[in-house]
Amino acid sequence: MTETTPSKFISDTPERRNDRIRRVITHLKDGTTDSYDEISTISATEYTDPALAVAEREFVFGAVPSIVAHGSEIPTPGKFVTVEMPRNKIIVVRQKDGSVKAFVNACRHRGAMLETAKSGHCRIFSCPYHRWSYDTDGSLRTITRGDTFGDLDQTDLSLAEIPCEERHGFVWVIDRVGATIDVAGWLGEEMDTILASYDMDRYTCFRAGSFTEPVNWKLMQDAFLDGYHIQYAHPNTAGKYIHTNVSVLEDFGRHCRWIKPRKSIDRWIDEDPADRPMDKYLIETHFLGPNSTLLKQPDHIELLTFRPHPTDPGQSIFEMRVIPPKVEDTDLDEEKWTALWEKNWDILLRVLHAEDFPIMRGIQAAMQSGDVAPMYLGKNELANQIFRRELFALLEKDSQ
């Protein structure tokens, strides 16, 4: 009999969770927060330098897995989404056997884009230019007027395949043909165990939206790791309900998880909550390196993803997903379920567009000045520090 080793990391024992909650309450009492060990200095060129943008495309997105979709966006064979990755424009498509593959979205004849729709369903990919066609597994099926074209070995003419894996309900890719993908290895034992415990493969993506912003992707990502701006940038929305500058964070290296208290927790500052369920008083956020923030709300998941523009460091692609339990797993009817998540979607998007994005656009514009003085990231900006530390680690590893 083989012995199995029990997982060293258990995502959340009640003791562990209680300990985190007690630490949050202590921070609230003392006006403190979990923090990094040093202040970091930022230079404006981090958001404008084309050479750095090339390195990020190659050594970050071309080297490690990042999320491109929730599996429910392509539920059945032939369903596809197209994604503009930093290095490649890709098609992600559900296979006949239920697995998922991804391909560079370019015909092997003379390069026409095979799919221009954001999402859809197809039996084959049929090129609009001369109608070569490909199976959804990427293999070339037909060369039109093949007897006049000349001899080519069709088995060598499959679409270029992008490494792709489905795990924890999400589809991940490494944006480089020939790379080896191992999402569990990238997540590490702690974050892999945490994500497994959320059962996100049983949820469904209510909506996925994609928005191009005139802002470097790191500024966008930073805004959604930042618990320090809440009362200042969102005084009449999130700032009313969520405490500013208080978090308890678990640093797992490439990824991290932290809790922020809602103001409704205040009644437990002077009264011991003992073993009461405290989820409704907290927001649980995860940074999934290199470029996503996953918010675990009591009744759904929100995923925010930030990707560099393929050429311009001054632009990025922001994707937002609201991922609730399927209607049949709730006690709502279809209409109420839709209305609920529609409202949720609108509120989230309105706050981002009205309150966060104008500030981000302002920063990017300010960074174009020739003489921006050094800037600083505080010890209290812990998740931002970790994002920056891990990004630099990837860039440095490949410059050695």
The Cα 286–Cα 290 span in angstroms is 12
Least CB distance to Fe ion at residue 211 (A): 15
- Residue 160 binds ligand FES (CB under 6 A): no
CB 83 within 8 A of CB 310: no
Beta carbons within 8 Å of 122's beta carbon, 6+ residues apart: 78, 80, 93, 115, 136
Nearer to ligand FES, 108 or 254 (CB): 108
CB 129 within 8 A of CB 110: yes
Six-digit token string for 259? 């809790």
Tell me phi and psi for residue 316, to 5 degrees: -150, 165
Residue 276: partners with Cβ closer than 8 Å, 6 or more residues away = none
Rounded Cα distance between 314 and 362, Å, is 12
- Taking contact as CB under 5 A, which single stretch among the options 119-127, 242-250, 273-281, 352-360 is the one that binds Fe ion? 352-360
Rounded to a whole number of angstroms, the minimum distance from the CB of residue 260 to Fe ion is 12
280 touches, from ligand FES, Fe ion, none (C-beta below 5 to 8 Å by class): none
Q: Cβ closer to ligand FES: 17 or 109?
A: 109
107 forms part of the interface with ligand FES (CB under 6 A)? yes
Q: Is 109 in the site for ligand FES (CB under 6 A)?
A: yes
DSSP string for residues in 97-150: TS-EEEEESS-TTT---S--SSEEE-SEEE-TTT--EEETTS-EEE-TTHHHH-
d(CA 96, CA 102): 14
110 binds ligand FES (CB under 6 A): yes
| Minimum CB distance to Fe ion, residue 189 (Å) | 31
Q: Which is nearer to ligand FES, 132 or 170 (CB)?
A: 132
Helix segments in the chain, DSSP class H: 14-30, 50-56, 146-149, 183-197, 217-223, 230-233, 238-241, 334-351, 357-367, 382-399
Residue in the shown chain whose Cβ atom is closest to Fe ion = 356
How many other CB atoms are found less than 10 A from the CB of residue 283?
20
Alpha carbon 379 to chain centroid, angstroms: 24
Asked whether position 16 contacts ligand FES by CB under 6 A, the answer is no
Closest approach, Cβ 111 to ligand FES, in A, equals: 6
**Nearest CB to ligand FES, comparing residues 143 and 323:** 143
Taking the C-alpha atoms of residue 296 and residue 282, their distance in angstroms, rounded to an integer, is 10
381 touches Fe ion by CB under 5 A: no
Q: Contact between 165 and Fe ion (CB under 5 A)?
A: no
State the amino acid at position 108 in one-letter form: R
Given Fe ion, ligand FES, none, residue 356, with its beta carbon under 5 to 8 Å by kind, binds: Fe ion
Number of residues interacting with ligand FES: please give it, by CB under 6 A.
10
Q: Give the per-residue contact string, 242-261, with ligand FES (x = CB under 6 A; - = no).
A: --------------------
356 belongs to the binding site for Fe ion (CB under 5 A)? yes
**CB 395 to Fe ion: min, Å:** 26
Residue from 74, 81, 93, 127 in contact with ligand FES (CB under 6 A): 127
Instruction: Single out the residue of 130, 141, 276, 350 in contact with ligand FES (rule: CB under 6 A).
Output: 130
Contact status: 25 vs ligand FES (CB under 6 A): no
Judged by the rule CB under 6 A, the positions of this chain that interact with ligand FES are 107, 109-112, 127, 129-132
